[in-house]
């Protein structure tokens, strides 16, 4: 569809009149946003309907990506870009007297996720549509997204994220597609005359799952897929059971918040119900769709793939079994074969404490039929494999043990594919964490290194660089991220090198402005912008970063005229509300910032800026302005990481341990163009095996570490009596779980190396260029194409569209 500026302007004026009964010149940015959103929706409406019809009539195999988190951020600009009308709309608005950016600011971030996991799901949605792949998302429409973070006296305070307050222009409520979901009560199996068993439910409850669909617009390819999020309602038939306000509220709480507080029983019940709720609604609606195709159920895997993103949707396995057994009357063997062929699973963590488990009693109480089926899957698994493997191995891999249901085990046993998210991660799964499963199912394991949607993380968020790329290597990189490689030809071109630096400078000026507005801290765009943005977690080691900053501070205090490259250390991070250690680190960074930023001796050589409320939109502001990308997790702990990819794509130099995808980044750019430090994964495991890590010893041997750590407990950093002691104890008394002290010296040397490289201006520019040129490899487009071919067996649809266009 060709949309001209003229048509667009007329449409805006007309619709504003209809919706708000006013002239466009009187409209507020908020009103303009809503009208613009609804206009944009009409631009993809036909393609959305058509895409779905094509899938149906051509019986295209589709994948359904089940994820308890999606983190798309704002969608207006992304939709405009993907529709190919970003410039038309921007210019049209300018002519009407408005700025697109002001209007864009009105949109609230859709933050239905915590961090990497949800962001990955959203990058995949963008890439699946942009690659013309038939795929849909399936998740939960939380009334409140991830909390809004504020700092009060340096402490994190959590405020509700009321993202739906002004309505959500993008979603379409589809009442007619609602699904009933059953939970609670008792179930027993009643034999029928023909010998089959039929479940009879007593005292169970029904809730209504109503889908809200959001268009996932492909990049200039006419493909529009669907993200389907489910919201809970009370079914008309059950109205009488919910008499009191309390009863209703309890039910409505089900899709109220992302991560109910799981430190209490009530929160845990809600969480498990949430998982079943979106799984059951999703799988039921998929089977309903499949039945429309009039094909034998045994061929389901030729039409449907279901992806289990982390273990939260692992109940897809028993739910599919339930439907096939109880509602479609298949035999166990038939149902199991179909289920395993349809399902695939991604593991996102190696930390065993993060592997999800549910107490048997809770599962039995809330989801009795699910529990029966899981028990039977477990029983058959044990029976089948105990013939071939030792009893211990079977015991370690079975689903139900020690009174708990092990969700990862369920997902692996019930699917045909288990993948890790970076080479190192997958190797660790095969060799250590899931080794027992690898012995039984070697063919099921595979790697799919994570990726990012380069459209959002470069085209939209870094226009100065994007324009420079267009000028230097033409525009094909916008369609084919691998073409960024063409930039490599300019590695000796002084004009291009300085232009890259100028683009970066421009972005740094913009970020400095934002920092001034939001924190009142003045930073110089000539300083090194050293960025660590990610969830606050002990394993990610924001603490290591802080220890180094303190070391620099004490160096300055000891030698007031010390020559050093000025640095701005920028943090963005939320801590889980119940994670007190992570909150202590936030408080300590904030107090250290107060101390250093206001110390006249420092003379602007050091600044610490901790920006509030890290989210996708803030990431889009920070990343284009970053010089240094801090990826300093303890080797073996970060499954992949994706902010490492976003930052390299924007020309930041990576300062990293050999962890997650950092290893693949090093391989892509070459070891001269990345700064690596710290223990390797083998060295970390050697400590585990020998059990000889000794943090106290390291402390006692290093005057520098003593000086830095003592600052936590001797009042040097003010107002952290409690937090400082907690952190100090974690290192010294509890032996430093993430080897922060062991990597400290190596990290300081690496930081020194960063400074030297930065001082060699041309060298720095070249490294920056090489990072950009080699970031195409980490496009999520490639990642989803690998999933499509190896795991889902789905094919792009626009092969034929291209011909008919
Ligand atoms: C990319 C991204 C993440 C993931 O960051 P990691 O450093 O890979 O953990 C988390 N949150 C947001 C908002 C992101 O954009």
Contact 465, 772 (CB under 8 A): yes
Place of tokens 């939709």: 79
pLDDT at residue 242 in the model: 80
Task: Give domain status of residue 690, yes or no.
Answer: yes
Flag whether pLDDT at 803 surpasses 50: no
729 CA from centroid of ligand 1 (Å) = 29
- 348: annotated active-site residue: yes
Task: Give domain status of residue 705, yes or no.
Answer: yes
Ligand 1 pocket test: pick from 72, 73, 119 the residue with the most ligand atoms within 8 Å of its Cβ.
Answer: 119
473 CA from centroid of ligand 1 (Å) = 29
Q: What is the DSSP letter of 479?
A: T
Domain that holds residue 540: 472-778
Flag whether pLDDT at 800 surpasses 80: no
- 17: annotated active-site residue: no
pLDDT digits (tens, 9 = 90+) for 684-732: 999 999 999 999 999 999 999 999 999 999 999 999 999 999 999 999 9
pLDDT digits (tens, 9 = 90+) for 584-621: 999 999 999 999 999 999 999 999 999 999 999 999 99
Looking from the CA of residue 642, the nearest atom of ligand 1 is 8
Flag whether pLDDT at 804 surpasses 90: no
Confidence of residue 799 (pLDDT cuts 50, 70, 90): low
Secondary-structure breakdown of the chain: helix, strand, coil percentages, each rounded to the nearest 5:
55, 15, 30
The residue contributing the CA closest to ligand 1 atom 10 is 115
Whether residue 33 sits in one domain with residue 180: yes
pLDDT at residue 480 in the model: 96
Flag whether pLDDT at 334 surpasses 50: yes
Flag whether pLDDT at 643 surpasses 60: yes
The residue contributing the CA closest to ligand 1 atom 15 is 616
Whether residue 598 sits in one domain with residue 529: yes
Task: Give domain status of residue 352, yes or no.
Answer: yes
Q: Per residue, what are the HEC states of 251-307? A: HHHHHCECCCCCCCHHHHHHHHHHHHHHHHHHHHHHHHHHHHCCCCHHHHHHCEEEE
Confidence of residue 243 (pLDDT cuts 50, 70, 90): confident
Which tokens go with 342? 């349809």
Task: Give domain status of residue 446, yes or no.
Answer: yes
Which is the catalytic residue, given 425, 478, 534, 637? Answer: 534
Whether residue 790 sits in one domain with residue 758: no
Of 53-62, 101-110, 240-249, the poorest mean pLDDT is in 240-249
Confidence of residue 354 (pLDDT cuts 50, 70, 90): confident
Whether residue 278 sits in one domain with residue 257: yes
471 CA from centroid of ligand 1 (Å) = 30
- 339: annotated active-site residue: no
How large is the C-alpha radius of gyration of the chain?
27
pLDDT digits (tens, 9 = 90+) for 748-779: 999 999 999 999 999 999 999 999 999 999 99
Which tokens go with 346? 């991604």
Whether residue 732 sits in one domain with residue 623: yes
Of 379-388, 625-634, 691-700, 794-803, the poorest mean pLDDT is in 794-803
Task: Give domain status of residue 18, yes or no.
Answer: yes
Helix ranges, 559-680 (H) = 580-597, 616-622, 643-649, 662-669
Whether residue 512 sits in one domain with residue 595: yes
pLDDT at residue 593 in the model: 98
Task: Give domain status of residue 461, yes or no.
Answer: no
Task: Please list every protein residue whose CB sits less than 6 Å from any atom of ligand 1.
Answer: 115-116, 119, 534-535, 615-616, 619, 641-643, 646
Q: What CATH number should be reported for the domain holding residue 126?
A: 3.40.50.2000
Which is the catalytic residue, given 425, 583, 646, 742? Answer: 646
Whether residue 798 sits in one domain with residue 731: no
The residue contributing the CA closest to ligand 1 atom 12 is 115
- Percent of the chain having pLDDT more than 90? 94
Contact 654, 415 (CB under 8 A): no
Burial level of 105, CB count in 10 A (0-12/13-18/19+)?
Answer: middle
- 800: annotated active-site residue: no
Flag whether pLDDT at 679 surpasses 60: yes
For 574, other C-beta atoms within 10 Å of its C-beta total 24
Whether residue 436 sits in one domain with residue 507: no
Strands 653-656 and 675-676: parallel
548 CA from centroid of ligand 1 (Å) = 23
pLDDT digits (tens, 9 = 90+) for 471-514: 999 999 999 999 999 999 999 999 999 999 999 999 999 999 99
Task: Give domain status of residue 465, yes or no.
Answer: no
Flag whether pLDDT at 337 surpasses 90: yes
pLDDT at residue 244 in the model: 82
- 733: annotated active-site residue: no
pLDDT at residue 801 in the model: 52
Q: Which residue has the higher pLDDT, 266 or 157?
A: 157
pLDDT digits (tens, 9 = 90+) for 70-122: 999 999 999 999 999 999 999 999 999 999 999 999 999 999 999 999 999 99
41's enclosing H/E stretch is helix 29-57
337 CA from centroid of ligand 1 (Å) = 37
Backbone phi, then psi, for 65, in 5-degree steps?
-95, 105
What DSSP string runs through 116-127?
A: HHHHHHHHHHHH
Please state, in angstroms and as integers, the Cα–Cα distance from residue 416 to each residue in 35, 311, 443, 527, 785, following that order.
46, 15, 9, 51, 18
pLDDT at residue 245 in the model: 83
pLDDT at residue 805 in the model: 39
Whether residue 423 sits in one domain with residue 543: no
Which tokens go with 169? 């222009």
Whether residue 768 sits in one domain with residue 790: no
Task: Give domain status of residue 464, yes or no.
Answer: no
Whether residue 682 sits in one domain with residue 617: yes
The number of domains in the chain is 2
Ligand 1 pocket test: pick from 123, 541, 572, 643 the residue with the most ligand atoms within 8 Å of its Cβ.
Answer: 643
Q: What is the mean pLDDT of residues 226-255?
A: 89
- 346: annotated active-site residue: no
- Spatial neighbors of 333 by CB under 8 A, at least 6 apart, are none
104 CA from centroid of ligand 1 (Å) = 21
pLDDT digits (tens, 9 = 90+) for 190-224: 998 888 889 999 999 999 999 999 999 999 999 99
Residue length of the chain:
805
pLDDT at residue 1 in the model: 58
Helix ranges, 98-172 (H) = 100-104, 116-130
Backbone phi, then psi, for 720, in 5-degree steps?
-130, 35
Ligand 1 pocket test: pick from 69, 74, 115 the residue with the most ligand atoms within 8 Å of its Cβ.
Answer: 115
């Amino acid at each position: 569809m060709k949309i001209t500026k003229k048509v667009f302007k007329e449409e805006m004026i007309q619709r504003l009149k209809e919706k708000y009964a006013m002239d466009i010149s009187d409209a507020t940015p908020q009103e303009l946003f809503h009208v613009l959103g609804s206009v944009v929706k009409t631009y993809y409406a036909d393609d959305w309907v058509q895409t779905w019809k094509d899938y149906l009539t051509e019986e295209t195999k589709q994948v359904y990506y089940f994820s308890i988190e999606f983190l798309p951020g704002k969608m207006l600009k992304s939709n405009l870009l993907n529709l190919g009308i970003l410039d038309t709309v921007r210019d049209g608005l300018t002519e009407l007297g408005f700025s697109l950016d002001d209007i864009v600011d009105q949109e609230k971030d859709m933050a239905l996720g915590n961090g990497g996991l949800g962001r990955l799901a959203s990058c995949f949605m963008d890439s699946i549509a942009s690659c013309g792949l038939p795929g849909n998302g399936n998740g939960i429409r939380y009334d409140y997204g991830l909390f809004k973070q504020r700092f009060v006296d340096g402490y994190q305070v959590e405020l509700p994220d009321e993202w739906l307050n002004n309505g959500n222009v993008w979603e379409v409520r589809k009442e007619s597609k609602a699904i009933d979901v059953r939970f609670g009560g008792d179930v027993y199996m009643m034999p029928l005359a023909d010998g089959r068993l039929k479940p009879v439910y007593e005292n169970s409850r029904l809730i209504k799952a109503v889908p809200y669909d959001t268009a996932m617009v492909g990049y200039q390819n006419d493909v529009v897929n669907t993200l389907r999020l489910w919201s809970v309602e009370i079914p008309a038939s059950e109205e009488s059971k919910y008499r009191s306000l309390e009863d209703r509220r309890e039910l409505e709480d089900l899709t109220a918040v992302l991560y109910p507080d799981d430190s209490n029983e009530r929160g845990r019940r809600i969480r498990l119900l949430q998982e079943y709720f979106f799984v059951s609604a999703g799988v039921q609606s998929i089977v309903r769709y499949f039945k429309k195709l009039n094909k034998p159920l045994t061929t389901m895997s030729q039409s449907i793939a279901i992806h289990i993103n982390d273990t939260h949707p692992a109940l897809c396995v028993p739910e599919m079994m339930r439907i096939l057994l109880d509602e479609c009357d298949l035999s166990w063997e038939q149902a199991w074969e179909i289920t395993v062929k349809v399902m695939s699973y991604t593991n996102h963590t190696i930390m065993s404490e993060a592997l999800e488990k549910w107490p048997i009693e809770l599962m039995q109480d809330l989801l009795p039929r699910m529990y029966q089926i899981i028990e039977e899957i477990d029983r058959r698994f044990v029976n089948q494999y105990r013939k071939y493997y030792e009893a211990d191995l079977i015991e370690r891999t079975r689903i139900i043990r020690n009174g708990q249901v092990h969700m990862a085990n369920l997902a692996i046993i019930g699917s045909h594919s288990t993948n890790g998210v970076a080479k190192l991660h997958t190797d660790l799964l095969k060799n250590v964490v899931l080794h027992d499963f690898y012995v039984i199912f070697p063919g099921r394991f595979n790697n799919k290194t994570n990726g990012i949607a380069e459209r959002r993380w470069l085209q939209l968020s870094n226009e100065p660089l994007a324009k420079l790329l267009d000028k230097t290597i033409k525009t094909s990189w916008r369609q084919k991220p691998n073409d960024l490689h063409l930039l490599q030809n300019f590695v000796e071109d002084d004009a291009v090198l300085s232009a890259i630096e100028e683009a970066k400078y421009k972005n740094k000026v913009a970020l400095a402005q934002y920092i001034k507005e939001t924190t009142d801290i003045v930073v110089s765009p000539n300083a090194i912008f050293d960025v660590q943005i990610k969830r606050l977690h002990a394993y990610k080691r924001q603490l290591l970063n802080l220890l180094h900053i303190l070391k620099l501070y004490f160096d300055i205090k000891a030698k007031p005229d010390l020559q050093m490259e000025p640095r701005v250390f920028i943090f963005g991070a939320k801590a889980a509300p119940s994670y007190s250690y992570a909150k202590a680190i936030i408080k300590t960074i904030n107090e250290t910032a107060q101390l250093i930023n206001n110390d006249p001796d420092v003379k602007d050589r050091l600044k610490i800026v901790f920006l509030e409320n890290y989210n996708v939109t803030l990431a889009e502001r920070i990343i284009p302005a970053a010089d240094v990308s801090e990826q300093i997790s303890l080797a073996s702990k970060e499954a992949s990481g994706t902010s490492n990819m976003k930052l390299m794509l924007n020309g930041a130099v990576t300062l990293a341990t050999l962890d997650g995808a950092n290893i693949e980044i090093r391989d892509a750019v070459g070891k001269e163009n990345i700064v690596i430090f710290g223990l390797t994964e083998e060295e970390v495991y050697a400590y585990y095996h020998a059990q000889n890590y000794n943090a106290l010893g390291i402390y006692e041997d290093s005057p520098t570490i003593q000086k830095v750590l003592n600052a936590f407990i001797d009042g040097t950093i003010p107002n952290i009596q409690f937090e400082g002691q907690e952190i100090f104890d974690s290192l010294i008394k509890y032996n430093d779980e993430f080897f922060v002290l062991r990597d400290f010296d190596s990290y300081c040397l690496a930081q020194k190396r960063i400074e030297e490289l930065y001082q060699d201006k041309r060298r720095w520019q070249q490294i920056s260029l090489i990072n950009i040129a080699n970031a195409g490899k980490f496009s999520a487009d490639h990642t989803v194409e690998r999933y499509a071919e190896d795991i889902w067996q789905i094919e792009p649809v626009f092969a034929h569209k291209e011909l008919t266009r």
